[in-house]
Chains A and B, each alone.
Chain A
Amino acid sequence: MTLSQQILQYLITGVTVGTIYALIGMGFNIIYNSTEIINFAQGEFVMLGGLLTVSSMRILHLPLPFAALVAVIGVALIGTLLNVAAIRPVKDPNPITLIIITIGASIFIRGVASLIWGKDPYPIPAFSGEDPIQFFGAVIQPQSLWVMGVALSIVLGFRQFFGKTITGKAMIASAFQPRAARLVGIDTRFMVLISFALSGLVGAVAGIVIAPMSMTQYDIGVMIGLKGFCAAIIGGLGHFWGVVIGGITLGILESLGAGLISSGYKDAIAFGILLLMLFFRPQGILGKTKGDRV
């Protein structure tokens, strides 16, 4: 392989992984946009998506597409439950309290998952075979195309949802001005509930499409969730297209860094980029600076 082919290969890997980060980051954004909460349990949705699919296939003997559907619905319900059981009862919702609650929830979910599924990794079969596709001397796994295709449909789907449907618009309204939204008759509590369900849905989808490439396990959620959060911050927290750009940028830089510098420092590179971004452009690539109101 020549150097340029290698770099092409790293780019392909980077874009694939980056799309996953973007999907997870989108889950963060959906909740952040309607509540200003950063849900540290987002990564656990990803883990649950993969593992519930595995169980639906093994126990219910469902074919992959239906097993995936069961998992997605299941995780959306778990997201709803998280909102009702752990977020709603909070009397004084300041950021530190909420950060700790969602971290507590993530530890709890991970603990329960390790009791149910144990600590072994589980495979999910690739959606459409494993014959690699040649591409200018580099190789593309068919699963990569699935990842990108699914991510693209989700992004477009959400754009339609937030731009065209009345529920989507109501969610944006209650995020933008909760009080005004309530005044025009929007049930903001319900909108928050939906945002947790949708965020669980996106997380689960990300977990299912990535599982054939990297296996799935009770503790994969921590790192992948944090990377998704990095993607959201790099792109601009709460920004719709920003997270896609942020995720892909992060995926590419991480993959190039791991390939050309050292794979041991892969995660350090990702978080290094995050720190640089936070220090020099905390509003993200696409975000606008906001003045602080006193």
Chain B
Amino acid sequence: MRFPPFVRSPYAGFLLFSGMLAVLPLLLTNDYYLNVLIFIGIHAIIAIGLDLLLGYTGQISLGHAAFFGLGAYITGVLSAKASWPPIAGLVVALVGVGILAYVIGIPTLKLHGHYLAMATLGFGIIVQIFFKELDFLTGGPSGLVGIEDMVIFGYEFDSDLKYYYLVCVSLALTLLLSINVVQSRVGRALRAIHGSEVASSVLGVNVSRYKVGIFVLSAVYAAFAGWLYSHYMTFVSPSSFDFMFSIKLVTMVVIGSLGSIWGAIFGAALLTSLPEFLYVFEKYETTVFGLILITVMIFMPKGLLRGVEDAVLAGVRVVRGKGDDK
């Protein structure tokens, strides 16, 4: 059976997904889940950006927690210390992080494999140390308090439900932009770079420009998520943006399925809600997390979403194969 073109395009998926997000709160039995959903949304925004970089372009970053943290701290400091409105904080955070990612990205993305992993990791650790040490600005290791609630053009997001819809709209915008990037000429160039940098540069793709560009875009996504996080929590501390969180972000993308935007969202949902499922075994959480990471990578290196998809398709083929026997 073939679906008409629109149904097969990612925009149909986008509309379906947005519809689901809109009605989801009606199905919740407990307000606490709204809180979990907000975090899933925030993490999904970062994961989508990281997937553009890691899944589509094949460039690893073990320091994305730093961009998330910078977004959160920039808007947080402006709000808590200078009473700037969140929208102004957002603009400064996005522009600031964009410029920083550009400056860092130029030398960093010349590196490959382990060297790239190590450089981004080093950058992440340095940024986190600055969060801890610049205590006149950031409040030091104990964190920054007094960040104001989210107010956008006079409208106050003062309940979890309102904030949930704010995160949903943000996620939907990110998603739409990313679908467009992936489907455009840019997306094809990114996939070409993933395939072979030399081959794509021979074909006229400006490899370093695209790599740095997508790095900046994914950093800006993370800063955007940081803005949402900062005004939701109204408190930020350095430990939320450590090396482990960078690893969690990469894991979301990889476990979800590299090179699939939906996979990134799925991965973010899975990893963010995992502690809720594991809270009975709180002591074993990290151990189980490590074990999941190893097992998925060994048995489903393409990620859960695609692993399941492959298994289903294989099943369908078996069934059809039998049907075709004459």
In this complex, what residue of A is CB-closest to B202?
A: A294
Binds B, one of A18-26, A105-113, A155-163, A203-211: A105-113
Are B54 and A96 in touch, CB under 8 angstroms?
yes
A268 and B127 alpha carbons, distance in the complex (Å): 8
A4 and B40 alpha carbons, distance in the complex (Å): 55
Are B290 and A91 in touch, CB under 8 angstroms?
no
Are B290 and A108 in touch, CB under 8 angstroms?
yes
A86 and B198 alpha carbons, distance in the complex (Å): 32
Which one of A90, A91, A106, A108 has the greatest number of beta carbons of chain B within 10 Å?
A108
Closest Cβ–Cβ distance, residue A203 to chain B (whole Å): 18
Instruction: Answer yes or no: A101 CB below 8 A from chain B CBs.
Output: yes
Closest Cβ–Cβ distance, residue A229 to chain B (whole Å): 7
Which of B113, B122, B126, B297 makes the CB contact (< 8 A) with A95? B113
Instruction: Answer yes or no: A54 CB below 8 A from chain B CBs.
Output: no
**Interface band, chain A:** 35 or more
Which one of A104, A230, A264, A265 has the greatest number of beta carbons of chain B within 10 Å?
A104
Q: Which of B267-293 contact A (CB under 8 A)?
A: 283-293
Instruction: Answer yes or no: A212 CB below 8 A from chain B CBs.
Output: no
Closest Cβ–Cβ distance, residue A271 to chain B (whole Å): 4
Which of A90, A222, A229, A275 makes the CB contact (< 8 A) with B297? A90
Which of A99, A101, A107 makes the CB contact (< 8 A) with B289? A107
In this complex, what residue of B is CB-closest to A237?
A: B114
Are A86 and B294 in touch, CB under 8 angstroms?
yes
**Interface band, chain B:** 35 or more
Instruction: Answer yes or no: A272 CB below 8 A from chain B CBs.
Output: yes
Instruction: Answer yes or no: B115 CB below 8 A from chain A CBs.
Output: yes
Are B114 and A100 in touch, CB under 8 angstroms?
no
Closest Cβ–Cβ distance, residue A232 to chain B (whole Å): 10
Contacts of B111 in A (CB 8 A): 278, 282
Closest Cβ–Cβ distance, residue A83 to chain B (whole Å): 13
Contacts of B196 in A (CB 8 A): 294
Which of A38, A222, A264 makes the CB contact (< 8 A) with B114? A38
Are B129 and A95 in touch, CB under 8 angstroms?
no
Supposing A108-B287, A115-B287 touch, asked if A101 and B129 sit within 8 A by C-beta, the answer is no
Contacts of A100 in B (CB 8 A): 250-251, 254, 293, 297
Contacts of B54 in A (CB 8 A): 96
A230 and B122 alpha carbons, distance in the complex (Å): 9
Instruction: Answer yes or no: A114 CB below 8 A from chain B CBs.
Output: yes
A104 and B285 alpha carbons, distance in the complex (Å): 13
Supposing A265-B129, A272-B126, A278-B118 touch, asked if A90 and B293 sit within 8 A by C-beta, the answer is no
In this complex, what residue of A is CB-closest to B248?
A: A107
| B contacts, CB < 8 Å to A | 54, 58, 60, 107-108, 111, 113-115, 117-119, 121-123, 125-126, 129-130, 132-133, 196, 198-199, 243-244, 247, 250-251, 254, 258, 283-294, 297-298, 301
Task: Please give me the 8 A-B residue pairs with the lowest Cβ-Cβ distance, nearest first.
Answer: A108-B290, A104-B293, A111-B287, A107-B290, A271-B122, A111-B286, A279-B107, A104-B294
Given A104-B293, A109-B290, 7 further pairs, Cβ under 8 A: A90-B301, A91-B298, A111-B288, A275-B119, A278-B118, A279-B107, A294-B198
